Amino acid sequence: MALSVGISSELNLSTPPLPPSRQVDCSNDAFAFWKLPVECRAPLAASLAASERVISRYLFEEYLSPRERQPSLALSCYYLIKGLIPIGLRHHINALAIRARKRLDFPRWPCETALVDFWRDWLRQSLQRLGIADTLHIGFWPHGHRCSIVLTHDVESPFGFEQIQRMTDLEEQYGFRSALNFPLNQYRIDWRKLDDLKARGFEFGAHGLAHDGRLFRSEHDFSALAPLLERFANEQGLVGFRSPSTLRNVEWIKRLSFDYDCSFADTDPYEPQPGGSCSVFPFFLGNIVELPYTVPQDHTLIHLLRRDPLPVWTTKSQWIASMGGMILTLTHPDYSGTQPHLSTYGELLKRLNDLECAWRALPSEVALWWRQRSQTHLTIKDGVPLLTGPGGDRAAIRRLSEEALAK
Ligand SMILES: [Zn+2]
């Protein structure tokens, strides 16, 4: 039977973005990931700095050259004429460009295991070093949930805006809520029309200013546009960000005052800036919590690859669930809000609804949890486990031998 636990209708939209000074343990090292008992930390200290270097290489796409970690010159030229090309022709040109582009050998798509393999190996070696076969850790999700499901949408145009209701109604039928991201200076957004959705437990985020390639074109452009983006987002109480076309720069995103970012994928070779963090779990991007999208986009599958999205969506979601990770979808009302794609999305929701013991959460809730988990500590005194810290009341103490990812 499907469980529908963990749904929260609590909204966080009136909360202003956290100041950059918020300080939590923003480490992404292997200890911070597994959250073993604090007593284990000192004997493993020597391996932690090295683990963070390896992990950062994946998370921040350092396996790519610096040139590959920024929008290409050809892309900047494309944005100059993009507005003149009708949308159907644009999809066609993009599909041809994707096919002509040299495929990256790494990360693999749709599933890349390199980081998962590293976390597992580190854990196995660490337990050996400690001379133990098993121990406890702080579970990845609150209240003992086995994985998490986060639904997000980018609303690209007035047409997409009109289709929102159909997608959100469908989500509610299955007991889900989602986050909708809007480009804040691309078309007129009637925020009053979204009041009802807000009251029903949906969340809104900033999808940059516009799909014009400017925000990450140069540091000069970023410095000029980021304050405007933050001001528009502040006016609407938006705490989440996804970059238009997922163009990104690790160091610049860290400077934004958002609570969370969703501009990275775990693996996405089909975006204008291909790559991926290899992570199906949240991680820290400075003080920002990064929530990578982990399920291939509808736009990629429908318009670029011309494939039925459902088989890939199902396989990937099941793979993530089997490891206890975060299933984070990115779909667009512009593409999935009309038939036949709306029915396909409904089928995905039905399958996600069948996943047992999954935490259904809004991005802001996952970001808050990941911060709390990072500040919560597990100690074992005289054989008795004890949790201290802000996540202590909802964190689950789990045995590693019962954790799928540890096997
Ligand atoms: Zn977009």
| DSSP notation for 133-195 | S--EEE-SSGGG-SEEEEEEEE--SHHHHHHHHHHHHHHHHTT--EEEEE-TTTS---GGGGH
Find the 322 Cα to ligand 1 centroid distance in Å.
29
CB 17 within 8 A of CB 259: yes
Q: What DSSP designation does 103 have? A: P
Find the 42 Cα to ligand 1 centroid distance in Å.
45
244 vs 213: CA distance, rounded Å: 8
Find the 273 Cα to ligand 1 centroid distance in Å.
13
Find the 54 Cα to ligand 1 centroid distance in Å.
31
Find the 252 Cα to ligand 1 centroid distance in Å.
19
The confidence score (pLDDT) of residue 275 equals 97
Find the 263 Cα to ligand 1 centroid distance in Å.
10
CB 38 within 8 A of CB 377: yes
- Residue-level pLDDT, tens digit, the chain, 407 residues: 333 323 233 333 333 444 443 445 689 999 999 999 999 999 999 999 999 999 999 999 999 999 888 877 777 777 777 776 777 777 777 777 777 777 778 999 999 999 999 999 999 999 999 999 999 999 999 999 999 999 999 999 999 999 999 999 999 999 999 999 999 999 999 999 999 999 999 999 999 999 999 999 999 999 999 999 999 999 999 999 999 999 999 999 999 999 999 999 999 999 999 999 999 999 999 999 999 999 999 999 999 999 999 999 999 999 999 999 999 999 999 999 999 999 999 999 999 999 999 999 999 999 999 999 999 999 999 999 999 999 999 999 999 999 999 98
Find the 95 Cα to ligand 1 centroid distance in Å.
16
87 vs 19: CA distance, rounded Å: 39
The confidence score (pLDDT) of residue 5 equals 29
Q: What 3-state DSSP class applies to 380? A: strand
The confidence score (pLDDT) of residue 24 equals 56
For residue 110, cis peptide bond before it (omega within 30 degrees of 0): yes
Find the 120 Cα to ligand 1 centroid distance in Å.
34
| CA angle (265, 291, 19) in 5-degree steps | 130
Find the 244 Cα to ligand 1 centroid distance in Å.
5
154 vs 363: CA distance, rounded Å: 13
Find the 207 Cα to ligand 1 centroid distance in Å.
7
Side chain identity, residue 218 = S
E-state strands within 242-347: 260-261, 283-285, 288-290, 326-331
Find the 117 Cα to ligand 1 centroid distance in Å.
32
Crossing angle (nearest 10°) for helices 41-59 and 114-130 = 170
Find the 332 Cα to ligand 1 centroid distance in Å.
8
Find the 81 Cα to ligand 1 centroid distance in Å.
17
Find the 295 Cα to ligand 1 centroid distance in Å.
16
Crossing angle (nearest 10°) for helices 341-353 and 158-173 = 30
Find the 25 Cα to ligand 1 centroid distance in Å.
31
CB 362 within 8 A of CB 150: yes
Q: What radius of gyration do the chain's Cα atoms show?
A: 21
For domain 30-64+107-406, say whether CATH 3.30.530.20 is its number: no
- Within 10 angstroms of residue 237's Cβ, the number of other Cβ atoms is 15
Find the 104 Cα to ligand 1 centroid distance in Å.
23
Find the 99 Cα to ligand 1 centroid distance in Å.
21
Find the 60 Cα to ligand 1 centroid distance in Å.
21
Q: How many CA atoms lie within 13 A of 84 on its CB side?
A: 5
Find the 199 Cα to ligand 1 centroid distance in Å.
25
Helices vs. strands in the chain: H and E counts, helices first: 14, 13
Find the 132 Cα to ligand 1 centroid distance in Å.
48
Find the 321 Cα to ligand 1 centroid distance in Å.
26
Find the 210 Cα to ligand 1 centroid distance in Å.
8
